[in-house]
């Protein structure tokens, strides 16, 4: 069993006609995804963070809560990911 490695990054939900554009500012100098609902967008954001950072040893720093620039209807949300859930065990490669 792999040891948990929890990371938390902020994301910004940008409402767009009932759907959401999601900005992950600390991943790859800004990653954008889209979700059909806020819940689905956050699930996709979690997966993107996990898959992107699963093999990274030098993790990017997370922007502190409250330091992101938000437009009028934007919502900041924190996404916590266990990177161990996205790593392939050595014996499976």
* CATH code for the domain of 40: 3.30.160.250
Whether 1 is in a domain gets the answer no
pLDDT level of residue 91 (50, 70, 90 thresholds)? low
Q: Secondary structure of 61-89 in the HEC alphabet?
A: CCCCCCCCCCCCCCEEEEEEEEHHHHCCC
What's the mean pLDDT in 72-85?
96
41-77 pLDDT tens trace:
999 999 999 999 998 889 999 999 889 999 999 999 9
Is 54 part of a structural domain of the chain? yes
Higher pLDDT, 45 or 90: 45
Domain that includes residue 64, residue range = 6-92
C-alpha closest to that of 75 among 30, 21, 31: 21
25 within some domain: yes
- Three-state secondary-structure class, residue 3: coil
Q: How open is the CA angle 27-32-33, to the nearest 5 degrees?
A: 120
Q: What is the mean pLDDT of residues 7-11?
A: 97
- How many domains does the chain contain in total? 1
């Amino acid at each position: 069993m792999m040891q948990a490695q929890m990371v938390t990054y902020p994301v910004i939900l940008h409402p767009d006609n009932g759907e959401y554009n999601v900005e992950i500012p600390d991943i790859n100098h800004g990653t954008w995804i889209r979700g059909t609902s806020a819940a689905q967008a956050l699930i996709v954001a979690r997966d993107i963070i996990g898959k992107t950072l699963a093999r990274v040893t030098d993790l990017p720093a997370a922007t502190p809560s409250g330091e992101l620039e938000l437009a009028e209807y934007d919502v900041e949300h924190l996404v916590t990911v266990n990177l161990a859930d996205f790593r392939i065990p050595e014996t499976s490669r």
